[in-house]
Structure 1
Amino acid sequence: MTTPFAGQRTLTRITDKQRLGPDAQVDDKALVFVPTDPALTDPFLALVEDRFSTPGFAWHPHRGLETVTTVIDGVLEHGDNLGHTGALEAGEVQWMTAGRGIIHRELAYRDERAHVLQMWLNLPARKKMTPSRYQDLTKAAMPRVTAPGVRIDVHAGTVDGVTGAADTHHPVQGIVATLDPEASYDLHVPPEHRLFAHVMDGRLLVAGRELRAGQTGWSDPATGPAPTTLHLGAVDPGEPARVMVYSGTPLREPVAVGGPFVMNTKTEITRAFTDFHSGAFGPVPRTARLAYDR
């Protein structure tokens, strides 16, 4: 085993996604990671893979977090009680800030199919009650980095001088990279960030360790201020690889999770449920299904 160069990220652990299968809302569900121990994944709370046709996720509330939904296949229809509606195609991202409270839904357009990865990103305590909002990162406006055999969609942060379209409340860098067979790339990551690299397709060397589709490698913040890089390399000579890499500065704050709400204390969770049921989030919309034609 070779010793990594100074500034080169290493993986502290590797996890496998857990497939749960169908339930009342989806055709298939898998848990990439969940907030069993939030300190281990801080500032990231969960990453869940869903395939659904009908019914999908009808109107439901959120508070105190952001949901970042990447469409892998099909078309995701969404709407909220702030009046936002839309549809996202494969490769596009919905970045929703729940903040003080929002009611939204996520459906498969025409009840056909949607295959998504949804991440829950924690908000700092001082931003828990920030105004709610939607940001749609479409393919047409997606900032990209290209290198020999490598294509990178930049969702957030700045990579090789290219800045993602997401306006974030906390330092976060997020990409999806596609690497041709045997191509490689060194991704610069702020040293203070914790990162995860989730392999979506193929086989990939991540920081010198081979990961297959469905596995996630984690790298904790570096101890010094020197710049760090994460080495990515497609392993299979006949198959490309695709990987989602997100990194962010840990919040190091208490985490309380109650259903769709993420706050800092159980008292705040109780208040979130009280506010929702009293109508403080606003009325549940009665918006008709989307007539979509892009």
Structure 2
Amino acid sequence: MENVVKEPRLVTRKFLAWPQHEGVGAIVRRSIGRFELKYFDPFLVLDEFSVSAPAGFPDHPHRGFETVTYMLQGGMTHEDFEDHKGTIGAGDLQWMTAGRGIVHSEMPAAQGTQKGLQLWINLPSKHKMIDPRYQEIASKDIPEAAKEGIKVRVIAGEALGAKSPIYTITPIMYLDFTLKPGAHLEQPIPISWNAFVYVLEGEGIFGNSKSLPVTAHNLLLLGFGDGLVAWNKASKPLRFVLVGGEPLGEPVVQFGPFVMNTQEEIDQTIEDYENCTNGFEKARHWRSEATLGLDY
């Protein structure tokens, strides 16, 4: 493979994502959005979630950002107060722009353990109050490419000549790589973007060929450079996601599922939600079918 990365990004920080409770009975490994790393502009949260019925994420609100749900195993059913309902299964993607406000539930769609990644992406101030929208892509429709022991699924952005149809308000790349033993990757990343790696399976070497191998559930923040280099020197496949985005450079004030630019905007959001106004009107009389009859 010809060299496409002239200045590889080195790993500047590494976090092991420990399991913690979230939602109702769900377990998440949170790497961004935790105490040590509250924000990595423009990324607010990264959770690797694991949930089995009747646990889940019952009716809850969002405002001011986007949630990206990428299923790894099983399925989750989504419902919201705009009467949007659907199930995403293994390999499927849902890109939800909460904008001015949404109330929804995310619950297991089958028996057994459902696993996936959920990424929260901040919205720029001028787009925080746009109408909610969804982009959903079935696994079979996510672009893929392969080359020299490397396979990539292109969730957002482009890699190895494949390009995602997802429209992103903030410029984003979200790539799911699998490297066979012995494979070597060079993936360009715009120099001005922040970027990270999250390891899903196996062990890999990132940034410098002499670095120590990194195993599953570790988040790696990448420093300055024009791309990522990675090696699989182990005997089993390496799978990881590479995510990058253009920083917004704006103030962030967060209160749980609400993310705005000032405390005054947060106060207004809480008032809007409690009074079912200014985007939350339909919350007054709505409850998801999945949580009806459940004691939440």
1:229 aligned to 208, 227, 230, which one? 227
Instruction: Tell me the TM-score normalized by structure 2.
Output: 0.88
Alpha-carbon shift at residue 117 of structure 1 (Å): 1.4
2:245 aligned to 244, 248, 263, which one? 248
Alpha-carbon shift at residue 137 of structure 1 (Å): 2.1
Alpha-carbon shift at residue 160 of structure 1 (Å): 3.0
Letter of the structure 1 residue corresponding to residue 229 of structure 2: H
Question: Is 2:276 the counterpart of 1:273?
Answer: no
Deviations for 1:57-93, whole angstroms, at most 9, x for unmatched residues? 1111100011111111111111222222111111222
**What's the secondary structure of 1:140's corresponding residue?**
helix
**What's the secondary structure of 1:13's corresponding residue?**
strand
Structure 2: distance between partners of 1:194 and 1:201: 23
Residue matched to 1:217: 220
Question: Is 2:151 the counterpart of 1:151?
Answer: yes
Structure 1: distance between partners of 2:90 and 2:79: 18
Deviations for 1:74-120, whole angstroms, at most 9, x for unmatched residues? 11111222222111111222111011101111010145431121111
Q: Aligned pair in 2 of structure 1 residues 97, 24: CA closer, same or farther (>3 Å)?
A: closer
2:258 aligned to 256, 261, 267, which one? 261
Residue 9 of structure 1 contacts residue 219 of structure 1 at CA under 8 Å; is this kept in 2?
yes
Instruction: Tell me the TM-score normalized by structure 1.
Output: 0.88
Give the 4+ runs in structure 1 shifted more than 6 A.
Answer: none
Residue matched to 2:102: 102
Alpha-carbon shift at residue 221 of structure 1 (Å): 4.5
Structure 1: distance between partners of 2:221 and 2:36: 14
Q: Aligned pair in 2 of structure 1 residues 40, 87: CA closer, same or farther (>3 Å)?
A: closer
Alignment RMSD (CA, Å): 2.0
Structure 1: distance between partners of 2:252 and 2:195: 19
**What's the secondary structure of 2:270's corresponding residue?**
helix
Residue 191 of structure 1 contacts residue 221 of structure 1 at CA under 8 Å; is this kept in 2?
yes
Matches within 5 A, 1:48-63: 48-53=47-52, 54-63=54-63
Q: Aligned pair in 2 of structure 1 residues 137, 275: CA closer, same or farther (>3 Å)?
A: same
Residue 193 of structure 2 contacts residue 245 of structure 2 at CA under 8 Å; is this kept in 1?
yes
Residue 157 of structure 1 contacts residue 164 of structure 1 at CA under 8 Å; is this kept in 2?
yes
Structure 2: distance between partners of 1:232 and 1:76: 32
**What's the secondary structure of 1:274's corresponding residue?**
helix
Alpha-carbon shift at residue 40 of structure 1 (Å): 5.8
The alignment covers a number of residue pairs equal to: 279
The gaps in structure 2 that reach 5 residues or longer are 292-296
Residue 26 of structure 1 contacts residue 51 of structure 1 at CA under 8 Å; is this kept in 2?
no
Identity %: 32
Residue matched to 2:134: 134
Q: Aligned pair in 2 of structure 1 residues 253, 174: CA closer, same or farther (>3 Å)?
A: same
Alpha-carbon shift at residue 183 of structure 1 (Å): 1.5
